């Protein structure tokens, strides 16, 4: 009985590390206007806003996972990829950071979704043999 209660207290998903990586990317995105000296205020505001959204979604996914959080991270990653063309900050350091971080955030969110829905034959969560 004691072992069962210990297991219920610490019930981490195996994919939780991906949410920690996304949290780190959100923090990097949030501080990037200072690190890379963005000159346009619209780019700074967009980067801070998306960085805070990624941070909030990642903390939410770590605390109480829900699939919609990952789909929002896919959307935010796609926005970061498209933002340089939409907001007009091509050929700047902000463009490279936005595209690079956006690709990694979208990739990690899709990887998390894939890991949730794909279970190899030896890894069924039931614990019993079939």
Residue 30 backbone phi and psi in degrees, to 5:
-65, -40
Tens-digit pLDDT profile for residues 80-110: 999 999 999 999 999 999 999 999 999 999 9
Global pTM reads 0.81
51 close to 29: Cβ distance less than 8 angstroms: yes
Q: What is the largest CA-CA distance in the chain?
A: 61
Number of residues written out for the chain: 130
49 close to 59: Cβ distance less than 8 angstroms: no
User: Nearest-5° angle of CA 35, CA 98, CA 63?
Assistant: 85
Evaluated on CA atoms 89, 92, 98, 103, the torsion sign reads positive
Tens-digit pLDDT profile for residues 29-85: 999 999 999 999 999 999 999 999 999 999 999 998 889 999 999 999 999 999 999
């Amino acid at each position: 009985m004691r072992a069962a209660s210990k297991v219920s207290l610490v019930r981490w998903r195996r994919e939780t590390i991906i949410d920690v990586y996304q949290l780190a990317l959100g923090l990097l995105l949030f501080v990037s206007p200072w690190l890379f000296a963005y000159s346009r205020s619209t780019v700074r505001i967009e980067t801070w806003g998306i960085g805070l959204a990624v941070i909030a979604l990642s903390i939410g996914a770590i605390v109480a996972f829900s699939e919609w959080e990952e789909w929002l991270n896919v959307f935010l990653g796609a926005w970061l990829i498209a933002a340089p063309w939409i907001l007009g900050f091509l050929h700047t350091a902000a463009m490279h950071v936005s595209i690079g971080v956006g690709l990694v955030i979208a990739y990690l969110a899709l990887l998390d979704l894939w890991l949730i829905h794909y279970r190899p034959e030896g890894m069924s969560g039931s614990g019993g043999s079939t």
